[in-house]
Amino acid sequence: MLMRKPFILAILMAALTLGACSPKDTGTLQLHSDADLAGLRVATGAGTCYDIELSKRNDITLILYNEDADILQSLLIGKSDVIVHDETIFNAHICRETGIKIAMKGTEEFPTALMFRKSDKDLAEACNATQRRMVEDGTMARLKKYWLEDEYMETEHFTHIPEETAGEPLRVACVTAMAPISFVVENEWYGIEIDLVRELAKDLHRPLEFKLYDVSSAMMAMKTGKADVMTGCIFITPERQEQFLFADPYHGYTSAYYVIDKDASRNKAGLWQGLKNSINKNLVREKRWTYITSGLWVTIKITLLAILLGSAIGAGLCAMTRSHRKWMRSFAGAYNWLMAGIPMLVLLLILFYVVFAGTGLNATAVAIIAFALNFASGACGVYNSALSAIPVGQTEAGLALGFTKLQTFFHIVFPQALRHGLPLFQGQCISLLKGTSIVGYIAIQDLTRAGDIIRSRTFDALLPLLVVTVIYFILAWLLGLLLKCAFPKKHVL
Amino acid sequence: MIIVSHLSKSFVNPDGNVLHVLKDVNCEINSGDVISIIGPSGTGKSTFLRALNLLDPPTGGSILLDGEDILVKGYPVHKLRQKMGMVFQNFNLFDHMTVLENVMYAPCKILHMPKELAREESLALLRKVGMSDKADVRPSSLSGGQKQRVAIARCLAMKPEAILFDEPTSALDPTMVGEVLSVIRSLAKEGMTMLIVTHEMKFARDVSTRIFFMNEGIIYEEGSPQQIFEAPRRSATKAFVQQIHKEVFELNSPDFDFPGMYTRMTRFCIKYNIPEKRETTETITQLMVDEIMADYRPLTVRITHSDLSEITALDFMVENLETSPLQAEGVNPASLEKIRSLCKEVIEEPTTRGFRVKLIL
């Protein structure tokens, strides 16, 4: 039995691997003007300028993604025919490696700037001052040349900040993990906008703190004061200007239309060699496996603590649902009703951005609380159904023998309820474990997010997802094992 | 030992009605008493028993145990229950333990008896109730009678001063009633103080020192078994103790379920503890219905049994008939002879509506 599960898993993965490598052959798509897009499937980033422009057309199929890596992936796996994105975002190196090319460049320049909170006028002003200084002393020109024209070194900053800094850190919300704008290598952020922020921090003598968000949660983080400046190739749009304050634009990016380059010589590595290359690229290079291990630890931490806390709250709730006081039963009923109705992600966002927004509580703690609150409701249900399975006669027999109420519960009822409830409880724990994969929304780098970060660097969807999947499988299995060990079947005396 | 005065207990139904189950119960229970509590269903017999060990705390009145009021707040109820064991209708054995563990669990956990000693004593108790060979099995594999015997052993393991039996044989298959009653009988012989709620009249009469007849939430009449069963003072008591169990079959259609009737008669005999009369009943009924009274339809057949007098009778009734079918022409004399030999008495009598043949078994 133990041997069979991994075997089935292996077959599934092999099937996935083969499925992902199926090629389709026609010539490279030619584009000469916007009109040529007619009838094609076009992918781009949700909420970007391109989104706004392209959604005006009704002769194309527009596919929107939140993450840049997903946009590229959609082209590579044939879900889209062409992708529209910044000209800089997929540089020559990436194009070579993935076998795509720029078919056409856009004509319009989109002014791009760092974004601040409306109330943070001083900070925006400081940023403008820094940019003016950079333009005057030529730093800006050299910065752009370094990141946008030269073949940059991926792990070298353009701007060097002196070691000593003081005061509140400048919290940077990065919505792009993509060279050359902003990207992570071995937990250090690099890129043109990163250096821009570093210049600002240098002038302000403040330390820096970076966090990766997706666009919508970054906006939320900005509004609720969890981040001070937002970077990641943010185009200035009237809508955004209504809500946020932009610094002066530092550059105008044009768009590019990327298509699959059918003429590119792709190295047709065998399955085994391909897997080896993929492992090397996704896990070994730049010590990318460390994302996985640190993410794994975060996932384990959130899951276990939420289970412990949630079980305890659930026990309290269960006691309330069985209380003879009406208000207690009503409270527990209302709580369960509420938890049943709120999607986990919404609960997490509400707790993070609203309830605990003003407190200094860190994101991981908020996630633990959110999952514990949700888990408590499920655990309460499990306890209740387990306890209901024990006939009241068992309690009466215990009491009649001379056990106290508490003794009767722990000696007689609980051991029997445990047998009924444990399988259900295990199911709850495992769904909690899997549910934690959404914590990336509040910028926690858990296991799933670790996979996302690797994907955004390597543009390889398969292996990171596969590795993450396998690890979740193993975690779920271990969790079951842990519960079995914690509550072994044994003789009572 | 126990003095109960003006005890009352009321429940509030889910629909808001207040139900007064116990109204005013007064009694005195002395050490060594074996008291059977009898009475119609729903008159508070079980509630009274459960009020005594506070499983259903009474709403009024007082219970004095050795002069101490057990209804005062903060009274150590679990200590009281250690001295006053209880045996339930549904056994309530702990399903997650073996038979032996069921018996030795409470002494180990409550009295902190050393495990080895508890095991020895428990095995001795199991031997006493004839269950020592099942010590290591789970209760789920036992029959009802066996479960109840284990439950009695479990109760004895706490060395109680008194035992409350709450309809100990009501949930049992009739064939298993005897084994449980015999265990209780032997306890009575040893002088154990016991209160037994039961419907087994014969048992109650044989084993008890006193009988409580409960009716309408009070102890309606109390006395020795002779007094209650043979010379009840009050009419309700009389009606109850002389009550006759009966089952009626109307043979009025060609679709009548004959095998079903014989099954029900067999069940009747087992239920009222007269399994020895099973075969006779069936033989006589068959002879009467198929041969002697085959032409008389519709025919009403009735089987009756009185616990107290232990008289079982089979009645065959036909409407609008004036002469006895047994005297009619063409009756097979051999069959008639056989019936007469199987019965204690044959009564042929006209009734207001027809004619009845009554056979006393």
**Residues B226, B252 within the same domain:** no
Poorest-pLDDT segment among A201-205, A308-312, B211-215:
A201-205
User: A392 vs chain B: nearest CA distance in angstroms?
Assistant: 9
Q: What is the mean pLDDT of residues A66-81?
A: 84
Domain boundary among B192, B209, B241: B241
CB-nearest to A403 from B92, B104, B110 is B110
| pLDDT of residue A315 exceeding 90 | yes
With a threshold of 0.85, tell me whether the complex ipTM lies above it: no
User: A491 vs chain B: nearest CA distance in angstroms?
Assistant: 7
Domain boundary among B241, B257, B290: B241
Residues in chain B within 8 Å Cβ distance of A412? 94
Q: What is the mean pLDDT of residues B295-299?
A: 86
pLDDT tens string A114-158: 999 999 899 999 999 999 999 999 889 888 888 887 766 677 888
Closest B-chain CA to A404? B78
A80 Cβ contact list (under 8 Å, min separation 6): A41, A42, A43, A63, A74
Quote the pLDDT of residue A1.
46
Q: What is the mean pLDDT of residues A93-109?
A: 82
Quote the pLDDT of residue A267.
56
Contact residues, B window 108-137, toward A, CB-based 8 Å cutoff: 108-110, 115
CB atoms within 10 A of CB A192: 24
Give the class (CATH, top level) of A25-110+253-264: alpha beta
**By a Cβ cutoff of 8 Å, what residues of chain A touch chain B?**
391, 393-394, 396-397, 399-404, 407, 411-412, 415-416, 419, 491-493
| pLDDT of residue B218 exceeding 50 | yes
User: A464 vs chain B: nearest CA distance in angstroms?
Assistant: 47
Tell which CATH classification among 3.40.190.10, 3.30.160.250, 3.40.1280.10, 3.30.70.360 matches the domain A115-248. Answer: 3.40.190.10
At B234, list the tokens: 């009050």
The parent domain of residue B20 ranges over 2-241
Spatial strand order in the sheet of B354-360: B244-251, B299-306, B312-319, B354-360, B345-350
User: Do the Cβ atoms of A411 and B105 come within 8 Å?
Assistant: yes
| Count of CB pairs separated by less than 8 Å, A with B | 69
pLDDT band at A266 (very low <50, low <70, confident <90, very high): low
**Residues B33, B79 within the same domain:** yes
User: Do the Cβ atoms of A401 and B95 come within 8 Å?
Assistant: no
**Residues B348, B273 within the same domain:** yes
Please tell me the total count of domains within chain B: 2
**Residues B114, B249 within the same domain:** no
Quote the pLDDT of residue A23.
47
Residues in chain A within 8 Å Cβ distance of B53? 400
- Determine contact, residues B219/B26, Cβ cutoff 8 Å: yes
The model's pTM is 0.73
**Residues B22, B130 within the same domain:** yes
| pLDDT of residue A321 exceeding 60 | yes
Quote the pLDDT of residue A9.
65
**Cα–Cα distance, B187 to A363 (Å, whole number):** 68
Closest A-chain CA to B54? A400
Query: What are the distances in angstroms from CA A398 to CA B69, B94, B138?
Result: 23, 9, 18
Top residue of B46, B49, B78, B111 to mutate, by most chain A CBs within 10 Å, is B78
User: A401 vs chain B: nearest CA distance in angstroms?
Assistant: 6
> Is any Cβ of chain A less than 8 angstroms from the Cβ of B159?
no
SS3 label, residue A453:
helix
Of A469, A395, A391, A387, the closest CA to residue A424 belongs to A387
pLDDT band at A22 (very low <50, low <70, confident <90, very high): very low
Quote the pLDDT of residue A17.
58
Positive or negative CA dihedral for A268, A269, A270, A276?
negative
Poorest-pLDDT segment among A252-256, A277-281, B115-119:
A277-281
Quote the pLDDT of residue A37.
84
User: Do the Cβ atoms of B96 and A404 come within 8 Å?
Assistant: no
Q: Can you say how many angstroms the Cα of residue B36 is from the centroid of all Cα atoms in its chain?
A: 10
User: B147 vs chain A: nearest CA distance in angstroms?
Assistant: 13
pLDDT tens string B223-247: 999 999 989 999 889 888 888 888 9
CATH number of A289-486: 1.10.3720.10
> Is any Cβ of chain A less than 8 angstroms from the Cβ of B158?
yes
User: Do the Cβ atoms of B96 and A492 come within 8 Å?
Assistant: yes
**Residues B329, B249 within the same domain:** yes
**Residues B270, B226 within the same domain:** no
Of A358, A364, A328, A348, the closest CA to residue A435 belongs to A348
| pLDDT of residue A19 exceeding 60 | no
Q: Same CATH fold, A115-248 and A25-110+253-264?
A: yes
Q: What is the mean pLDDT of residues A260-270?
A: 69
- Determine contact, residues B153/B105, Cβ cutoff 8 Å: no
Of A450, A472, A458, A430, the closest CA to residue A293 belongs to A450
Q: Residue B291 burial by CB count (10 A; 0-12/13-18/19+): exposed, middle or buried?
A: middle
> Is any Cβ of chain A less than 8 angstroms from the Cβ of B53?
yes
**Residues B235, B250 within the same domain:** no
| pLDDT of residue A339 exceeding 90 | yes
Q: Which helix (H) or strand (E) holds A230?
A: strand A229-231
pLDDT band at B308 (very low <50, low <70, confident <90, very high): confident
> Is any Cβ of chain A less than 8 angstroms from the Cβ of B73?
no
User: Do the Cβ atoms of B86 and A416 come within 8 Å?
Assistant: no
